[in-house]
Amino acid sequence: MNNPYSIEMCYKSGEKFYTGKVIGDIFYKNFKLNKAILWSKQQFGINVEIFDHLLSKGVQQIVYIDTTTKKDAWAISLGDFDEHKEMKQFRYGRQFFVGTEFAHKLDEVPFVPFINNTVQIHEE
């Protein structure tokens, strides 16, 4: 993984959403804590297709950044996520979820630079 890139999730409905950036062996995923579907159950989620892509590219860690405040971030290793994940189906396809107890809150929110290169991941 030499060049950093953004990931755009493309759904069968034609909708497309920017989901995060791969820099080195880390995937930085933005989410809105106040709108997270399963935050009431204290879970982090990711689309199955994106998760599979990250595994195939050797990504080691996901950093979830709350974009509502930009003051909170959590990290989880892909191995821990993989070991404890459960699949659920929502409006935006199949997603894996894992409990927040498997992640750790970061002391600082990492700076994630703007990246021009974008990879599209398509819903299966």
The confidence score (pLDDT) of residue 40 equals 57
Q: Is the pLDDT of residue 96 over 60?
A: yes
pLDDT in tens, 25-54: 999 998 877 665 555 568 888 999 999 999
- Phi, then psi, of 91 in degrees rounded to 5: -55, -35
The confidence score (pLDDT) of residue 39 equals 56
Structural tokens at position 87: 């699949």
**Domain spans of the chain?**
5-110
The confidence score (pLDDT) of residue 61 equals 98
Q: What is the mean pLDDT of residues 85-106?
A: 89
Residue 20 to residue 18: CA distance in whole angstroms: 6
Q: What is the mean pLDDT of residues 73-92?
A: 91
Q: What is the mean pLDDT of residues 12-36?
A: 88
The confidence score (pLDDT) of residue 6 equals 96
In total, the chain counts a number of residues equal to 124
Whether the Cβ atoms of residue 37 and residue 45 lie closer than 8 Å to each other: yes
Q: What is the mean pLDDT of residues 59-82?
A: 93
Element (H, E) at 61: strand 61-66
HSE-CB of 34 using CA atoms within 13 angstroms: 4
pTM metric for this prediction: 0.90
